[in-house]
Structure 1
Amino acid sequence: MEILAAGPTTPRAVEMRKTAEKMEAAFLAEMLKGAGLGEMDGEFGGGIGEGQFASLMRHEQAKLMVDAGGIGLAEHLFRAMGDAENA
């Protein structure tokens, strides 16, 4: 995942930014799961194998969404982590 907005480039800030992006990706993956992305019913369903790999596909798609700018959650999480650390 890429670093979002320009800002402090200390190793700690970079680590917090990456963590915030991972959290946003996890959130988006859960939202995609709730929307039914990756599930096929009927004759073309993949059975057990599909169920095992659908979560991997959703997680990769969520990471791509974050890399493309996401929904802004990572930025809010990053700022909250910075505020908590500075308090």
Structure 2
Amino acid sequence: MSIVPTPVSTSIPIRNGRPDYDLAAALPKVSPEAQAKARSSARDFEAMFLNSMFSQMTSGLKGEGPFGDTVGTGVWRSMLTEQYSQTVAKAGGVGIASDVFRTLILQQANAKA
């Protein structure tokens, strides 16, 4: 009885519900450190976009309660929207980071070619 080795499965990234062969071919050309840096930069970019979006959403709101509409309310709200944006980006965001990551990796792979 012979044992047949199972093929090593390589995971192919999915983009819009379909395999992304371009990204799968580019990933081995880019070092893991560069991939980690690109992933971090992409997440930071998405967080920056979300922060801008959340700031616009809350710009017309006035403070209520004991603090009212004071200068401190604006500072507090900006810190709150920054934390919201970081949390949403870390949780997967709205999909901007994955496209930015893909673009960064493809550019780095093409630069090495």
- The TM-score range, normalised by the shorter chain, is 0.7 to 0.9
Aligned pair 1:40/2:62, yes or no? yes
How far apart are 1:45 and its partner, in Å?
2.6
- CA radius of gyration, larger in: 2
Aligned pair 1:79/2:102, yes or no? yes
* Aligned residues of 2:45 and 2:97 also touching (Cα < 8 A): yes
Q: 52, 55, 58: which is aligned to 1:30?
A: 52
SS across alignment from 1:35:
helix
Aligned pair 1:13/2:38, yes or no? no
Deviations 1:9-50 (A, max 9, x none): 701100110010000001001111111179434665341111
* Aligned residues of 1:32 and 1:58 also touching (Cα < 8 A): yes
Higher helix share: 1
The normalised TM-score by structure 1 is 0.77
- Structure 2 residue ranges without an equivalent (≥5): 1-12, 14-23
Whole-angstrom CA distance in 2 between matches of 1:35 and 1:41: 14
Partner of 1:53: 76
Greater relative contact order, per chain length (Cα 8 Å cut-off, separation 6+): 1
Deviations 1:40-76 (A, max 9, x none): 3466534111112211110110111112211010000
- Structure 1 residue ranges without an equivalent (≥5): none
Whole-angstrom CA distance in 1 between matches of 2:88 and 2:59: 14
* Aligned residues of 2:62 and 2:68 also touching (Cα < 8 A): yes
- Overall identity of the aligned pairs, in %: 24
What count of residue pairs does the alignment treat as equivalent? 82
Whole-angstrom CA distance in 1 between matches of 2:32 and 2:60: 38
Whole-angstrom CA distance in 2 between matches of 1:37 and 1:61: 15
